[in-house]
Structure 1
Amino acid sequence: MINKDYILRLAEQIGYELSIVIGLRKRNQNEDTLIAIDNLLLKFTGMTSRFINSLSDEMLLQALSPIGKLNAEACLWIASLLKEEGETYDNLGNSNDSYYRYVKSLYLLLELLHQEHVAFDSPLYGDAKVLIDKLSAYELPSYVQKKLFRYYEQLGMYAQAENILFDYLEHYPEPQMLESGHAFYQRLQAKNRADLENGDFSLQEVQEGLAQLQRFVD
């Protein structure tokens, strides 16, 4: 688990560097912004934007986990800078490139929040929400939807997790996700009423959800 003070210090350092990037972008110096982002990526991660964006999201995550343990610092730098790169491509009217940067950024951030059990008062959750909102008009890749399902449960947002679960199963009725759905409801059965209500859920909805899962059983 990342030390809370360490996250705050790292966030402050990233925020300082990003303030320069954001300033360039707000002055519509978009090409200079992209160059500045690339320089920061190389400085703090040893990878260029071109290389990072040439990798699939899964391959990038593997590259950041060389011995099976996520390099949280590099992951956070990349997620933060890809978000800014996406914003810059939005400025340029290039929604295709901005979409892929946002998706990759969100994918890494959700994995970081899961693996490192980041404290719930961390501003990183706000960053994740910003990215989720930016991508709300798009259909997300299936592997990102899986991470969102896990993320919403982690936050205690059970109704949102259920929505992701059934939307996923409607499009990809995979046995693995079906098993994850059963495990999700079993965990919810162990919750007290107050916990469920805080997650906009109820024990009755748990039972109804389990029954609905039967639609996807061969």
Structure 2
Amino acid sequence: MLQRDYLMKLIETLSTVIARVLLKKEVKNYEGAEEELVSAAKTLAGLDLNLIKILNAEDIISLMKTSDIFTGRCLISAELLRQYGDLLSDKGKAQDSINLYMKSLWLYLEAILTKELPVPGDYYERVDFMIKNLSPLEFPDQLKLKIFEYYEYSGKYSKAEDILFELVESEFNNIHNTGKQFYRNLSLKTDDELVKGNFSREEIEDGLEEINNLLSSD
């Protein structure tokens, strides 16, 4: 309960910060907007935004895992990096913004997959939008795994399967066992849940058979 209350307060404070950032961007006060983002990263998550910009996503996550407020720090960092990416895009630095969006996506996924966010569904539309916009780029396999886990968690089973077989094709570590568990999990879902996820019982059987065939051919 305390963790939930803390996260709710953090999200509320973050919303206030973002409102100030957007107001400053509106009048093209980009320097002021950047100062807001840097300050928020320090005060809300105890992080140096300039350091986060340099580190890759996996290093950022490792750095934050030393904290007992991991979920909150991931969420704060994801949102601030997204806003900073928007800021750079507004300033005509599109390539730099893409790098920040990719890190932001990874951190959003990490926060959602802790299963500690009070209302994780509030972030699904944002994450789906980012995945769609960044999909022309080649996602690293570790990020694809996070996307697969996110799709399964959020009930987008057909999309999860698509990512699963991309990982199978690239021979990602232990992905066959991950796939078998995925189909076992789906077999426990109701028909309504499967339909909502654009999936069926027949597809579960077909997918599991394909995974088993691939394992036996190795």
Instruction: Bin the TM-score by the shorter chain.
Output: 0.7 to 0.9
Tell me how far 1:77 sits from its aligned partner.
1.5
Q: 2 CA distance for matches of 1:175 and 1:199? A: 26
- Counterpart CA distance in 1 for 2:194 and 2:58 is 33
CA contact (8 A) 2:74 2:110 kept: no
TM-score normalised to the size of structure 1? 0.87
Moved more, 34-43 or 207-216: 207-216
- Give the equivalent residue in structure 2 for 1:17: 17
Match of 1:45 in 2: 45
Contact 1:41/1:49 (<8 A) preserved: yes
For residue 206 of structure 1, what is the aligned residue in structure 2?
A: 204
Q: 1:123 to 1:6 in 2, by over 3 A?
A: farther
The count of corresponding residues between Structure 1 and Structure 2 is 216
Matched residue, 1:142: 141
For CA contacts below 8 A with separation 6 or more, give which structure has more relative contact order. Answer: 1
Q: Deviations over 1:175-209 (max 9, x none)?
A: 41221111101211222322211211001111121
Q: Which amino acid aligns with 1:145?
A: K
Q: Which structure 1 segments of 5+ residues have no match?
A: none
**TM-score (norm: length of structure 2):** 0.87
Q: In the TM superposition, what whole-angstrom CA distance separates every residue of 1:69-99 from its partner, at most 9, and x where no partner exists?
A: 5522222221110010111111122222111
Unaligned runs of 5+ in 2: none
- Structure 1 pair 100/180, CA: closer, same or farther in 2 (3 Å)? same
The reply on whether 1:152 has 2:142 as its aligned counterpart is: no
Q: Distance in 1 between matches of 2:21 and 2:136?
A: 26
Partner residue of 2:183 out of 182, 185, 193 = 185
User: What amino acid is the match of 1:193?
Assistant: D
2-structure distance, mates of 1:59, 1:177: 23
1:14/1:119 Cα in 2 relative to 1: closer, same or farther (>3 Å)?
closer
Residue in structure 1 matched with residue 90 of structure 2 by the alignment:
91
Deviation string for 1:75-132 (max 9, x for gaps)?
A: 2221110010111111122222111211111111111111134355642333323422
Aligned twin of 2:104 = 105
Q: What is the rounded CA distance, in whole Å, between the counterparts of 1:149 and 1:125 in structure 2? A: 14
CA distance in 1, matches of 2:167, 2:98: 20
Match of 2:28?
Answer: 28
Task: Give the secondary structure class of the aligned counterpart of 1:123.
Answer: helix
RMSD of aligned Cα (Å): 2.3
Deviation at 1:3, TM superposition (A): 5.3
Once the two structures are aligned, what percentage of the paired residues are identical?
27
